[in-house]
Chain A
C-alpha cells in the first residue's frame, strides 16, 4: 500500500524568508511518480511538479525547488524568498505505476498550510 506523510501541518514565515516543506512516502513499487500541488484559498488544485522514480535530479523553477532523495524516500519542496501569494496549502502526492487498466490513483499527504506574512 502506498502512503504519503507531510509531518508539518502549518508553517508561518515572514515575507522573503525561505520555507521548506517535507514529504516522505512509502511504496513497494520500483516505478512511481511524485507530485506537488498547491491549493490556494479559492480551493482548486494547482499542479506544480511531477517527478518519476528514476529521475533523482533536483529541479528548480523560479523560486521553487525540489529535492528528491530515494535513499530516504523523501521529496521536499522549498520556496525561496517567499511572497504573500505563496500562502496556500501544499500537497505532496504519489502515484504507483500500474497496468493501463488499473488507473494509477493519486495518494495525497495531509497537506502543509503555509502562511506568509507581509
Chain B
C-alpha cells in the first residue's frame, strides 16, 4: 500500500539554524499538509498546500516557516531560524481526490526536531 514517507526521522539542530524537513507524499495526491505536535500535547495544523500554493495556514505558521514542492515529488517544510520552542514532532500528510483518499489524510511517520 502506498504511504507517506518523511526524512529524517530525527533532526537535532542548534538554535538559530535553518532546517528543512522533507516529505514524499503519496504519488497521485494533490493536497499536502504539515502538522506539529509538541511533546505531550495535541497535534496542531500548520499549513495546507494545493496547486502549488498555500491554501490555509495557522497562526503558528509565521514568517520563519515556508513550504515548497520543489520537484513534483517532495514536499518540504523549512524553518528559517529555529527557536527552542520549535522542538516538536512534525507530521506531513497528503490527501487524494477520489475514493477513500478524498476525505482522509494519510500521515507520514513524523520527524522529531530537537532544537538545542
Report if A and B associate in a common complex.
yes
Contact, CB under 8 Å: B109 / A43: yes
Nearest Cβ on chain B to A35's Cβ, whole angstroms: 8
Cα distance, A111 to B35, chains bound together (Å) = 15
Question: Given the known A-B contacts A44-B109, A103-B56, are A111 and B42 also in contact in the complex, defined by CB atoms under 8 Å?
Answer: yes
| A104 and B45 alpha carbons, distance in the complex (Å) | 11
Q: How large is the interface on B (under 10, 10 to 19, 20 to 34, 35 or more residues)?
A: 20 to 34
Binds A, one of B47-55, B63-71, B79-87: B47-55
CB distance A103 to B42 under 8 Å? no
Smallest CB–CB gap between B25 and chain A, Å? 14
> Is the CB of A102 closer than 8 A to any CB of chain B?
yes
A44 pairs with B110, CB closer than 8 A: yes
Query: Which segment of A14-22, A45-53, A73-81 sits at the interface?
Result: A45-53
Q: Residues 28-41 of chain A: 1 if any B CB is under 8 Å from the residue's CB, otherwise 0?
A: 00000101010000
Q: Do A103 and B33 touch across chains, with their CB atoms under 8 A apart?
A: yes
Residues A108 and B55 in contact in the complex (CB < 8 Å), given A33-B103, A95-B103: no
Within 8 A of B (CB), among A49-108: 50, 52, 91, 93, 95, 100-108
Asked if B116 is an interface residue, CB under 8 A from chain A, the answer is no
Q: How many residues of A contact B (CB 8 A)?
A: 24
Is A45 touching B43 in the complex (CB atoms < 8 A)?
Answer: yes
Chain A residues closer than 8 Å to B107, beta-carbon distance: 37, 44-45, 47
Contact A106 B103 (CB under 8 A): no
Q: How far is the CB of A109 from chain B (nearest CB, A)?
A: 7
In the bound assembly, the distance between CA atoms of A108 and B89 in angstroms comes to: 15
List the A side residues contacting B42 at CB < 8 Å.
91, 108-111
List 14 A–B pairs whose Cβ atoms lie within 8 Å, in order of A's numbering.
A43-B109, A91-B43, A95-B103, A100-B50, A101-B51, A101-B55, A102-B55, A103-B33, A103-B56, A104-B31, A106-B93, A107-B45, A110-B42, A111-B42
